[in-house]
């Protein structure tokens, strides 16, 4: 072999080993320290803000029906008219009695001016007039109650009587609900319920409707839960002006609960799975420094971790897939 070729083969391995590997380009994101917001989601049921089984205040026979199930009514609209002939006769008698007592009182007042009757006679007539007036007013109210009216604006869900049927006082006539405002009832596990406060914001998702979440507020936190499931009912109220959410629809409610303590947060892409668990690579002085971590809650692309990290550290989020501890790195971008 020529001496020159032998010399080149002898020097080539040393020349190759003397070359340094170029720094790996990486993208980094700052390690944060702040209170963590935990996302909690529970499935619940939508119910109307107001639901009433309308009852008759006066007994009578159903004479007319003004609205059917499924129709919309306004507050005060008549739903049914009842007939009660004995009541109408009592009203006519009370009206006649009132007119007579009014006449007697007016005459006694005129005679009293001339001392033709005693003061006691005038007082007796005044009492009889007041009694007759009260009886008349009571009967007029009962006759007015023969018209069973909607207690509020809403929808008739069902009716419980038919024309010609006799309805007793307190008998149910119809069910009316109002869904301009709805409430979503969810059962929250007892370990979370103490973190809820009245007025907390919530997002309501109704799969049947799709689209964006519907904003709501925590309206009620019941003081008594269910012993069998160790959950407590929490009620979320929401406006429903278009009536898209309907009674008994299923809904998923998402709450964002702020944790009382601050946490160290890293971007989710900074986590690398290794044989020993999760690792975060930090970019320090042009070198990759590995830090084993244990992960906790996640929120909006960040994960709470525990390990040897400090706020302001730069965690590698791109280019960290094949990094090794101590490897040279070059930061090409800092992710906000």
Give domain status of residue 5, yes or no: no
Q: Is residue 68 part of a domain?
A: no
Instruction: Give the pLDDT score at 259.
Output: 75
Q: Indicate if 195 and 254 belong to the same structural domain.
A: yes
What is the spatial order of strands in the sheet that 166-167 belongs to? Answer: 147-149, 78-83, 60-65, 166-167
Q: Which of 242, 259, 276 is the last residue of a domain?
A: 259
- Pair 275, 234 in one domain: no
Cα 275 to Cα 230, 272, 290: the distances in Å are: 38, 10, 13
What pLDDT, on a 0 to 100 scale, did the predictor assign at position 256? 87
CATH number of the domain to which 306 belongs: 2.40.420.20
Torsions phi, psi for 256 (to 5 deg): -115, 110
Dist CA 38 CA 265 (whole Å): 13
Q: What residues make up the domain containing 112?
A: 85-145
Assess contact for 249 and 203: CB atoms under 8 A: no
DSSP code of residue 211? S
Same structural domain for residues 230 and 267?
A: no
Q: Is residue 79 part of a domain?
A: no
Residue 135 lies inside a defined structural domain of this protein: yes
In a domain, residue 317? The reply is yes
Asked whether residue 196 is assigned to any structural domain, the reply reads: yes
pLDDT in tens, the chain (336 residues): 454 444 444 444 444 444 567 999 999 999 999 887 778 999 999 999 999 999 999 999 999 999 999 999 999 999 999 999 999 999 999 999 999 999 999 999 999 888 888 899 989 999 999 999 999 999 999 999 999 999 999 999 999 999 999 999 999 999 999 999 999 999 999 999 998 999 999 999 999 998 789 999 999 999 999 999 999 999 999 999 999 999 999 999 999 887 778 889 999 999 998 788 899 999 999 999 999 999 988 878 889 999 999 999 999 999 998 899 999 999 999 987
CATH, residue 190:
2.40.30.170
| Helix ranges (DSSP H) in 67-174 | 85-113, 119-144
Count up the domains in the chain and report the number: 3
> Do 187 and 123 reside in the same domain of the chain?
no
With beta carbons less than 8 A apart as the criterion, state whether 296 and 306 touch. Answer: yes
Q: Please check whether residue 161 lies inside any domain of the structure.
A: no
User: Looking at residue 20, what is its pLDDT?
Assistant: 65
Q: For 252, list phi and psi in degrees, rounded to 5.
A: -110, 130
Select from 205, 237, 259 the last residue of a domain: 259
Q: pTM, whole model, 2 decimals?
A: 0.67
Residue 166 resides in a domain = no
**Separation of alpha carbons 225 and 214, rounded Å:** 26
**Contact at 8 Å (CB) between 156 and 176?**
yes
Tokens 């409610």 appear where?
A: 253
CA 145/CA 78 separation, integer angstroms: 10
């Amino acid at each position: 072999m020529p001496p020159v070729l032998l010399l080149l083969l002898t020097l080539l391995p040393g020349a190759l080993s003397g070359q340094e590997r170029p720094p790996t380009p990486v993208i980094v994101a700052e390690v944060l320290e702040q209170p963590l917001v935990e996302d909690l989601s529970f499935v619940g049921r939508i119910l109307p803000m107001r639901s009433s089984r309308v009852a008759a205040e006066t007994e009578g026979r159903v004479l007319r029906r003004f609205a059917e199930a499924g129709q919309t009514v306004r507050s005060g609209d008549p739903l049914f008219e009842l007939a009660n002939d004995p009541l109408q006769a009592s009203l006519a008698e009370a009206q006649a009695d009132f007119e007579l007592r009014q006449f007697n009182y007016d005459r006694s007042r005129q005679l009293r001016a001339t001392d033709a009757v005693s003061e006691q006679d005038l007082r007796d007539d005044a009492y009889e007039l007041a009694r007759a007036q009260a009886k008349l007013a009571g009967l007029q109210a009962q006759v007015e109650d023969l018209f069973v009216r909607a207690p509020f604006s809403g929808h008739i869900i069902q009716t419980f009587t038919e024309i010609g049927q006799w309805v007793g006082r307190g008998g149910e006539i119809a069910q009316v609900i109002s869904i301009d405002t709805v409430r979503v009832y969810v059962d929250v596990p007892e370990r979370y319920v103490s973190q809820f406060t009245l007025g907390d914001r919530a997002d309501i998702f109704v799969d049947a409707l799709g689209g964006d979440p519907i904003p709501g507020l925590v309206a009620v936190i019941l003081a008594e839960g269910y012993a069998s499931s160790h959950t407590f009912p929490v009620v979320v109220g929401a406006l429903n002006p278009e009536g898209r959410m309907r009674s008994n629809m299923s809904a998923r409610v998402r709450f964002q609960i702020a944790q009382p303590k601050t946490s160290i947060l890293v971007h989710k892409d900074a986590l690398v799975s290794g044989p020993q668990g999760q690792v975060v690579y930090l970019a320090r002085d042009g070198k990759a420094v590995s830090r084993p971590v244990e992960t906790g809650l996640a929120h909006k692309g960040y994960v709470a971790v525990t390990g040897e990290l400090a706020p302001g550290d730069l965690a590698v989020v791109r280019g960290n897939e094949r990094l090794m501890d101590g490897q040279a790195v070059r930061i090409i971008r800092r992710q906000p």
